[in-house]
Structure 1
Amino acid sequence: MEEQRLLLAFYGDDFTGSTDAMEGLASSGYRTVLFMEAPTEEMLQAFPGIRCIGVAGTSRAKPPAEMEKELRPVFQSLARLDVPLVHYKVCSTFDSSPEVGSIGKAIAVARDYFAKDAVIPLLVGAPQLGRYTLFGQHFARMHDQVYRLDRHPTMSRHPITPMREADLRLHLGKQTAETIELMNFLELEGDPETVRERFAGKLQEKPGIILFDVIDEARLQMAGQLIWEAAQRQSRFVVGSSGVEYALTAHWKAAGIQPAADRIAHGPIKPAERMLVVSGSASPVTKLQIETALQQGFHGIRIPVDALVDSRSVPQNLLQEAIAHLQAGTSVVLYTALGPDDQAISETRERLNLLGLKDTDSSELIGRNLGRWTREIMQAVQLRRVVIAGGDTSGFVMREMNVYGLEMLLPISPGAPLCKAYSFAKELDGIEVALKGGQLGSPDYFVKVQQAGWE
C-alpha cells in the first residue's frame, strides 16, 4: 500500500473547472481540498487524511502578462511541495487563445519551475463529462448530441475565446512554439508493455508536449498509467482537463494506491428550503437552467447593465427584492444574461468600451460586483446554500466572499458538485456552494442543487 502522502497538486485556470477536478479525485475517495491560494504547511495540517490539493485561479480570463503575474508565485509554491505530480488544469473544452487564457503561456511559465527538458503530457478528453479526443480532434457533448468543438453551439460562439479549430495540436500551436506529438487511440490499444514501448518511442523524438487521445475508460486508464509512470522519472508537470484526475484515480486504484484511512465525515446534509443562484454565464445551457428554475417557482431578477458595469454603487432596489423573496421562502435567480444572443451582452461590451475597459476586464468587474452583492444578500438572510454559474466569474465571486477553501460534499451533476466552503468570514464559514461552468448540468440543475441532501 502507498504511504499516506500527497499524490497530486493542481492549479485550475478557472474556479468551476477547479471544482470539476476536485470532484474527479474526491468521488474516488481521495480527500481533496481546493484552496484559493497555495496553502501553507499549517493549512494542510488542518485537513487530516488529505491526499490531493488544488489551487483555484482565474488565469483563463486573463491576457498573457496578467497570467504570468498570477502563475509564477503559484507554480513556485507547488514546485516546492513534496508531491509527485503537478497539474495545470484547463477547461475540458480547451477555452484559450493567444490573447486570453493562453495555455501555451502557462506551459512557458511552468518550464521555469519544473523539469526544463521533460516532455509535458496533455490530456483533455473526459468521457465522464462527454469530452472526447480522437486523432487529436476534440469533441464535446451538449445534452444528447456530441459536436466537434469548432461546430459546438456554445464553444464556436464563445464571447471571449471562440473555438474555430477542433484539432488541439493546431489550436495550441498558435499559443506555443513547442512541438506537439500525439499518442492516438490506436497506439493506446494492446497490453500495457506494448503500449509503454510505443510511448517510449514517442519520447525518443523529444517533443515538448505529447497529447493523449481519450475516447473511453480503457484508454483513459492507460493514459493515466503512462502519465503517472512518467512522473516517477522526470515529467512532473501535466496539462489537461479533469480527465487527468479521472485517468490518475483509475490507475491508482488498479495499482493499489489507496485513499487515506481517516476520511472526513461531513454528517447529514439537508435539502435547502430556499437558495440563491447567481449567474454570470451567457451559455445556452445556463439559459435553459434559469428558465427551468423559473418554471419551478424560483423568482428571477435580471441585473441591469448599468448596475453590472458600475462598481461605485450598490443596486439596493435589486438586492432588497432578492432579500424580500428569500425571507418569504422563495428561491431567487440573479442573472446577467439569458443565452449568447441576449442583447445585454453587446450592451455590456459597449459600456465597458466607453469606460476604456477591454472585453477581458469584464469577467473581473462583473464577478467582483456579483460577489459583493451575493455576500450582502447571504448575510442579510443567513442563507446556507448558493449556486454560482459562470466559469470566468465564479473565482472573483468566491474571493469577494472571503472563501479560502472548498471541499466536495455531494455530486450533483458531473463537474459541478455541491461543496462546503471554508471562509475567513465567520458568518459564511461552512456554507454550501455549487460552482457551475456554462456547459455543465442538466436543465433542472438548479432545482437538483436545492433538493440535494442525504441523511
Structure 2
Amino acid sequence: MLIGVIADDFTGASDIAVTLSKGLTGEGGLRTTQYLGVPQHPATPDVEAGVIALKSRSIPAADAVEQSLAACEWLLDQGCTQIIFKYCSTFDSTAEGNIGPVLDALTTRLQAKQVIVCPAFPTMGRTVYQGNLFVHDRPLNESGMEHHPITPMKDADIRRVLAQQAVTPVGHIAWQHVTQGSEPLRQQFASDAEVKLVVVDALSDHDLTIIGIAAAGLPLISGGSGIAQALPHNFIKAGLAQGGSQEQPAVDGLSAILVGSCSGATRSQIEAHQQHSAVLALDIQQVMQNNITADDIVQFILDHQADCPLVYSSGDPLSVKKAQEQYGQQRISQRLDQLFGDAARKLVYEAGIRRLVVGGGETSGAVVSALNLGSLQVGNEIDPGVPALFSHSDQPLALALKSGNFGRRDFFRHALSTFGGDNHLDKIE
C-alpha cells in the first residue's frame, strides 16, 4: 500500500477513494479499497491506496484523535509512505471541532513539518482564496453552512478557525505563489523548517494538481478530496504504480434509497425523484414517538419495488429547527441513525436488497456501520465525489453514499443506473 487516507466520515471517504482511483485524466489512478472502520486484518497485496472511513467528524475530540491514530498505525503497518487526513470541503468544524486536534496528533506521530491544509473542491464550487473558503461566489459563512444543524460554520477564514482548534502554528500560502508552479512550491515546503499547518489557496483543479505534485514525499497532507487528484501521479512517475482503471461488476436485484440529509440539494433531488417514483417521508414526531419502525420502512420498500422506492427524513431548515427545539438535535440524530441502520440491515440481510443508495453523511455512516461490510471495492464515479461501491461478499451489494450537497438533480435515478441490471428506469424517465 502506497497511500493511506483517514476520512472523518463515510461519504467523504468514498469521495477521496474515487479521486485516488481515477487519478489524472489519461494516466489513471491507484487500485483503491475503502475500509469501513479500522481493519482487523492486513490489506490484500494488490491494494495501492487504502481509505479508512471513520465516523469521527462530530464526536468528542479525544475520541476522534484516538480513532485517527489507530487508523494511522494500521496504514503505516501496510507500508504507506504518505497519509492524508480527509475532511469535508466545507470544513464542517466549529471552534471546538476535531480537525485541529487530529492534525496535531498526526503531525506529531508522523514527525511532519509542513502539513498542507486545503479543503478546496472546485468542481463543487469550493475554493480557497487568501485563506478563506468560498462556496461558489459566497464566503462559507454566508453559503448556508452557517445554519448547519451539527457544525454551523460562522467564519470563512480557515486560518482563524484552525488556530482556535490546533496547537500547531498555522501558516498560509497564497494563490499567487501556487501559480508559480509545483517546483517552487515544493522548494517552499522543503525550505521552511518550522512545523506548521499551511492553509494553501486553490481556485481550480489545475491549482490542486500543482499542489499535489509539489506534495510528493510529504508524510502528511490534509484537505478535501480534490487535494488527492495528482497524488497517484507521483507514485506512477516514480515507478511504484502502473496506473490505469479498474473494472466494476454489474449488480442486479432489488433496490432501496434511504435519505437523511437536510441540504437544499438533497431536498431538490427528492422533489425530482417523487415526480415519477414512490417516496415515503418520515414524520419526526412519529419517529420520536416510536410509531415508525424499521419494519415499516422495509415493507414500503418491498411493496414499491417497481417504482424505485425512496424513504427520507429530510426537511426544510425551519421544520428541522422546530423539531430540534422540541426533542434536541442529538436525540433526533441518534434516533434517525438507529432507524436507518436497522432498516438497512433488514433490507440487505433479510429482504435481499442488492442495490442501496444513501443520502447524507451521518445517515451513510449509520447505514454502513449497521451493515458491517468491512471493505468496499471502488467503482466508477456516479457524479463528482460519489463513486459506485461494491462489497466483497458472496452476495454482492452495490452502494452509493452521497454527501448532502453532492449530485445532479436526478441523482437517485442516475445512481441506480450505474449499478447494472434491471433498475425499473422506464418508470422514471
Q: TM-score range by the shorter chain?
A: 0.7 to 0.9
Secondary structure at the counterpart of residue 172 of structure 2: strand
CA contact (8 A) 1:273 1:450 kept: no
Choose 315-324 or 275-284, whichever is displaced more: 315-324
2:303 corresponds to 1:324: yes
The letter for the 2-side match of 1:74 is A
Give the corresponding residue for 2:203: 215
- CA 360–250 in structure 1, closer or farther in 2 if over 3 Å, else same: farther
Mapped partners of 1:381, 1:338: distance in 2 = 28
Among 266, 288, 294, the alignment partner of 2:248 is: 266
Choose 176-185 or 436-445, whichever is displaced more: 176-185
CA contact (8 A) 2:58 2:98 kept: no
2:284 corresponds to 1:305: yes
Secondary structure at the counterpart of residue 174 of structure 1: helix
CA contact (8 A) 1:89 1:239 kept: yes
Mapped partners of 2:139, 2:237: distance in 1 = 32
Secondary structure at the counterpart of residue 384 of structure 1: strand
TM-superposition CA deviations, 1:289-347 (whole Å, max 9, x none): 0010001x221111232554468983544432332112xx2211111123323x25532
2:386 corresponds to 1:404: no
Among 195, 207, 224, the alignment partner of 1:241 is: 224
Give the corresponding residue for 1:166: 156
Give the corresponding residue for 1:36: 36
2:6 corresponds to 1:11: yes
Mapped partners of 2:236, 2:409: distance in 1 = 33
2:189 corresponds to 1:224: no
- CA 216–291 in structure 1, closer or farther in 2 if over 3 Å, else same: same
Mapped partners of 1:191, 1:318: distance in 2 = 53
TM-superposition CA deviations, 1:103-132 (whole Å, max 9, x none): 0121233245221x6232212112233321
Deviation at 1:250, TM superposition (A): 4.9
- CA 283–69 in structure 1, closer or farther in 2 if over 3 Å, else same: same
Mapped partners of 2:214, 2:254: distance in 1 = 46
Give the corresponding residue for 1:194: 184
Runs of 4+ in 1 over 6 A off after TM superposition: 310-313
Secondary structure at the counterpart of residue 219 of structure 1: helix
Deviation at 1:196, TM superposition (A): 3.6
Deviation at 1:417, TM superposition (A): 1.6
Deviation at 1:137, TM superposition (A): 1.3
- CA 41–404 in structure 1, closer or farther in 2 if over 3 Å, else same: closer
Choose 48-57 or 436-445, whichever is displaced more: 48-57
Mapped partners of 1:422, 1:41: distance in 2 = 15
TM-superposition CA deviations, 1:400-444 (whole Å, max 9, x none): 112111222221110112111235xx6xx4211000011101111
CA contact (8 A) 2:294 2:342 kept: no
Among 46, 60, 70, the alignment partner of 2:67 is: 70
2:58 corresponds to 1:82: no
Mapped partners of 2:238, 2:66: distance in 1 = 38
Secondary structure at the counterpart of residue 194 of structure 1: helix
Mapped partners of 2:114, 2:351: distance in 1 = 52
**What is the correspondence of 1:316-395 to structure 2 with a 5 Å cutoff?**
316-326=295-305, 329-341=306-318, 343-348=319-324, 350-351=326-327, 353=328, 359-360=329-330, 362-395=332-365
TM-superposition CA deviations, 1:261-293 (whole Å, max 9, x none): 7x75334x36x6763111111111100000100
CA contact (8 A) 2:254 2:352 kept: no
- CA 126–252 in structure 1, closer or farther in 2 if over 3 Å, else same: farther
- CA 91–193 in structure 1, closer or farther in 2 if over 3 Å, else same: closer
Give the corresponding residue for 2:267: 287
The letter for the 2-side match of 1:188 is V
The letter for the 1-side match of 2:323 is E
Note the residue ranges of structure 1 that are not aligned, 5 or more in a row. Answer: 1-5, 354-358
TM-superposition CA deviations, 1:208-227 (whole Å, max 9, x none): 21121111233212211222
Give the corresponding residue for 1:434: 400
**What is the correspondence of 1:83-122 to structure 2 with a 5 Å cutoff?**
83-99=80-96, 101-115=97-111, 118-122=113-117
Among 17, 20, 25, the alignment partner of 1:25 is: 20
Secondary structure at the counterpart of residue 59 of structure 1: coil
Give the corresponding residue for 1:356: none
Mapped partners of 1:150, 1:344: distance in 2 = 19
CA contact (8 A) 1:134 1:215 kept: yes
Among 184, 194, 212, the alignment partner of 2:174 is: 184
The letter for the 2-side match of 1:137 is N
* Count of aligned positions: 416
2:141 corresponds to 1:150: yes
Secondary structure at the counterpart of residue 52 of structure 2: strand
- CA 64–349 in structure 1, closer or farther in 2 if over 3 Å, else same: farther
Identical aligned pairs, as a percentage? 24
The letter for the 2-side match of 1:410 is N
- CA 251–135 in structure 1, closer or farther in 2 if over 3 Å, else same: farther
CA contact (8 A) 1:278 1:389 kept: yes
Deviation at 1:382, TM superposition (A): 2.1
CA contact (8 A) 1:76 1:113 kept: no
Normalising by the residue count of structure 1, what TM-score does the alignment of the two structures yield? 0.83
Note the residue ranges of structure 2 that are not aligned, 5 or more in a row. Answer: 24-28, 422-429
Secondary structure at the counterpart of residue 275 of structure 1: strand
Mapped partners of 2:182, 2:364: distance in 1 = 40
Deviation at 1:454, TM superposition (A): 6.3
Mapped partners of 2:371, 2:190: distance in 1 = 47
Mapped partners of 2:400, 2:376: distance in 1 = 10
Give the corresponding residue for 2:427: none
CA contact (8 A) 2:262 2:315 kept: yes
- CA 113–364 in structure 1, closer or farther in 2 if over 3 Å, else same: farther
Normalising by the residue count of structure 2, what TM-score does the alignment of the two structures yield? 0.88
TM-superposition CA deviations, 1:178-224 (whole Å, max 9, x none): 221111111122354434444445x24x1421121111233212211
The letter for the 2-side match of 1:350 is Q
